[in-house]
Amino acid sequence: MKHSIYTRTGDKGNTRIGGGKALPKNDERIEAFGALDGLNSWFGLVRTKNDCGEDIQEDMALIQQFLFDCSSDLSIPKGHREYKLAQDHIDWLEKKIDKFSEEPEETQYFIIPGGTELASWFHILRTTTRDAERRIVTFMEAEPEEVNPFVLKFINRLSDYLFVVARVANARKGVPDVPYERSEKVFHISKEQDSSKGKSE
What pLDDT was estimated at residue 27? Answer: 77
β-bridge mates for residue 111, sequence order: 179
The topology (CATH level 3) of 21-196 is Hypothetical Protein Ta1238; Chain: A; (1.20.1200)
Please tell me the predicted confidence (pLDDT) of residue 109.
84
Distance of alpha carbon 171 from alpha carbon 162, whole angstroms: 14
User: What residues contact 101, with CB distance under 8 A and at least 6 apart?
Assistant: 164, 191, 192, 194, 195
pLDDT at 148: 94
Query: pLDDT for 147-176, tens place per residue?
Result: 899 999 999 999 999 999 999 999 999 999
pLDDT band at 187 (very low <50, low <70, confident <90, very high): low
Q: What would the pLDDT profile of 53-71 be if each residue is shown by its tens digit?
A: 999 999 999 999 999 999 9
| pLDDT tens digit sequence for 94-149 | 999 999 999 999 888 889 999 999 999 999 999 999 999 999 999 999 988 888 99
Overall average pLDDT of the 28-46 stretch:
94
Residues 24 and 14: beta-carbon distance below 8 Å: yes
Environment class of residue 5 by beta-carbon count within 10 Å: exposed (0-12), middle (13-18) or buried (19+)? exposed
**In this predicted structure, what is the pLDDT of residue 67?**
98
At 79, is the pLDDT very low, low, confident or very high (cuts 50, 70, 90)? confident
The number of residues making up the chain comes to 201
Q: Looking at residues 83-93, what average pLDDT do you find?
A: 97
- What does the alpha-carbon distance between residue 52 and residue 152 come to, in Å, rounded to a whole number? 28
Residue 78: per-residue pLDDT = 84
Residue 30 has pLDDT above 60, yes or no: yes
Q: For the beta carbon of residue 28, count every other beta carbon within 10 angstroms.
A: 20
Q: Is the dihedral of CA 129, 132, 134, 137 positive or negative?
A: negative
E strand spans, 51-183:
111-112, 178-179
**Prediction pTM value:** 0.84
- The pLDDT of residue 73: 93
